[in-house]
Structures are given as C-alpha cells and as structure tokens.
Amino acid sequence: MSKASAAARTLRGVLAGAAALAIGYAGTAAAAPAAGEYGVGFITENTGPLAAAGVSYHRGAQLAVDEINEGAWIGQGVKLKLNEKESGSDAARAVQALTQFSADRNVIAVTCCILSPVAAALKPVTTNAKLPLVIYGATLPGLPQPPYVTSVVGLPGPQEVKMSKMLAETLKPKTVAYFVNADNEGFQNRFKAAQKVMEEAGVKTAGVVSILSADTDFTAPATQAMATNPDLIMVWTTQTPAAGIIAALRARGYAGKISASDVISPAPVFKKIGAALAGVPFPIVFSSEISSSPEAKKFVEGYTKKFGEAPDTYSAQGYTSLYLIAQAMKSLDGKPSREDLAAALGKASAVEYNIYGGLPMVNGQAEVQNSLVAAWTADGKVVRWENK
C-alpha cells in the first residue's frame, strides 16, 4: 500500500468520522426541544376528602420537576414549571382549573385527578381543548384516550389477583367475607377480581358488607362481618373506611386474618391505626422500604431529603406522571406544541425512567408488572408479607 493511498484512506476515515459526528450532533440537536420554561398544569387535591393522598401526589410531582430541571433531563436550558390549581377533589373545580390552564398558552400539559369521576369529567374538556392530560391517580378502566389522555396509574386487577391467589394458597381459607365500597366502581372491580380468584380456588363467600366512602362509624359493619364467622376478611374500600374497618374489627375482638388494598400503605395510616394493621397483607407496586431498583432508591432519598418523610405509593405516581411528560418533551424538536406533545405521549410504549422496575404503556395506559405483597410490622415498618 502506497503512502498516498494510505493517506487518502486516513483522510476518508477522518472525513467519515467527522461526518458521523456531525450527523450524530445534528440528530441530537434535532431531538432536543428549544430551551425555555414550559408550564405543566397540576390540578392538586391538597384539600377536601382525599387531601392526605393529594399532598403525596403533589410532592412526588414537585420532586420530579426539581430532578428534571437540575439534571437537564430534557435538554440544556429546558425547564418545566409546575403550575398548581386546587380542585379539592371536586369535578366542577377541576374542570374550571383545566379551562384556566387551557387559556394559558405557557401550559403545555396538565396532570390530574385521584377520583375517576373527576378524571372522566375532564376527559372531554381536555380533548376539545387539545391539551394533553396525564392522569396520576384515577383507576377506572377506559379513562385514557390517546393522544390527549394518558395515565401512569396501573389499573387495579393484576396485583389484587396475585395477592388473592397467594392468600388462597397459603392461608387456605374455607370462607371469606368482603367489605366493599358501594359507591366506588374502582373498588368494586377490585373486590370482584379478588372474589373470582377465591371462588375459583373453592373458597366460599361468607358475606359481602357494603359501606359508603363518607362513612366513619364501622362498629356495625364490623359486627355484621364477624357474624358470618369467616376465615378471612378482605377489605376493598377507600382509605378512611379501610383503616376504620380494620380498627373496628380488631377493637371488637376479631383475631382472624384480614387483608386490604394498597390504601393502607401510607405511613399516616399506620400512625393513625397503629398495631391493629400489623400483619394485614396488601398488594403494592412501590414501597419506600421494599422497592430496590436504583431509581426507587434515588427517589426515596430525594423525597426524604426534600420533605422530611419517606414517599408513599401516591407520591410515586405523581413523580411518574411528570417523568412521562418530560420523556415526551425530550423526544420533540424545536418549540413543541400541545399537539406535538400529545402525539408523543400517545406513542410512548413505556415510561422509560420509572421506579417500578419497568412500566410499559399500552394504549395510553400504564401497566404495572411488578407488584409486591407487603404488610406492616407492629413497630411500623413495611416488610414483605409472610404467613405467621
């Protein structure tokens, strides 16, 4: 090989490398949104009947925005700004907040809603306004409607089924009594999913005790359930009733097995009810004490540092909703429009940065694959549940 040909080849190589670098650079530049501050409307529920959970969702979102901005997660100079408007879990106030966000052109997306009826009320409004909405808490199937409505909340069902199968196999109950919210479709679906598993395993239904979300006195329902003499009592209700029911059952002397849903997982619930919750299994997709992925550990560390307490499953969902919006932003070019962002959200096949060890999105709906069955210890720690 002559020196001339070698030099030519070297030159070609250098040129090819330079071209590749240039293309790569151009590609990166093309995928980065224009620097600037983009508003994300957050419809808070920091007051009203669900305020305890609402505060957690909000804090999770605040932490995510801090991380995204500090780490230039979307791109250099690209920042998100959380704009909050309070709904108090009231559909009319939530619609009003969404309408105001819609009029504010600095707001590129909105995230909202613990209650499914509130999310359902926002759905047509946000679709008509062509403003992307990411649901952070509501669990009714069918709420997402890509590209404008997506949800980071894993639907109830798989984790309840998993736990029910585990309980049927390990506890081997002959009869089960169920508590269920008569006025909450989401919890009725959870109850039905659990009952189906139990009945397929040959476990009879001893009784179904209905309660209402606004109820506070559970002595009579506890008496009713105990009178059916079940081997296991499964509590499929919203948070305040679930805590009240378990407390009432134990106060009335029920020493048998009880299971519940993830509503009893937040620390304030244990602080309120105390040792009566010990050993009650519940399915959970995130726990600050059990979840072990690097992302989960970073989330727990950052949240604890910022708010002085460990995050719960609700703060995890608020956190995830902002990362999904950031992910969609990151995939866009130039100055993104609401329509562009909606299209990107609708196309997302997974929430890439998540604390669940994987979070696929199917038709705008997150699907949580890795759930745990956990329980409180008598001294207030969440551990993997074991039959004792």
Residue ranges that bind other proteins, judged by CB under 8 A: 46-47, 49, 51-52, 54-55, 182, 209-212, 214, 216-221, 223-224, 227, 240, 243-244, 247-248, 251-253, 268, 272-274, 276
Residue (of 140, 150, 147) closest to 117 by Cα position: 140
CB atoms within 10 A of CB 163: 26
Cβ 225 to other proteins shortest distance, Å: 11
How far, CA to CA in Å, does 128 sit from each of 43, 103, 321?
18, 13, 21
Q: Which of 48, 158 has the CB closer to other proteins? A: 48
According to DSSP, residue 92 is labeled H
CB of 306 to other proteins, least distance (A): 17
Judged by CB, which is closer to other proteins: 249, or 296? 249
Contact 98, 129 (CB under 8 A): yes
Cβ proximity to other proteins, 35 vs 227, nearer residue: 227
Minimum CB distance to other proteins, residue 223 (Å): 5
Which residues lie below 8 Å from residue 80, measured CB to CB, with a gap of 6+? 37, 38, 39, 40, 65, 68, 69, 74, 322, 325, 326, 329
Quote the least distance from Cβ 24 to other proteins, whole Å. 50
How far apart CA 345 and CA 337 sit, in angstroms, is 12
Least spacing, CB of residue 183 vs other proteins, in Å = 8
117 CB contacts (<8 Å, ≥6 apart)? 91
Task: Give the residue with the Cβ less far from other proteins, 197 or 209.
Answer: 209
- Measured from the CB atom, the residue of 11 and 251 that comes closer to other proteins is 251
- Nearer to other proteins by Cβ, of 46 and 159: the residue is 46
From CA 348, how far away is CA 136, in angstroms rounded?
16
Token duo for residue 43 = 């419809």
**Least separation in angstroms between CB 222 and other proteins:** 9
Task: Say whether 271 sits in a helix, a strand or coil.
Answer: helix
CB of 182 to other proteins, least distance (A): 5
Can you tell me whether residue 220 is helix, strand or coil? Answer: helix
Closer residue to other proteins in complex, CB, 263/351: 263
Angle at the Cα of 284 from the Cα atoms of 205 and 176, rounded to 5 degrees? 10
Q: Copy the structure tokens of residue 233.
A: 């009592």
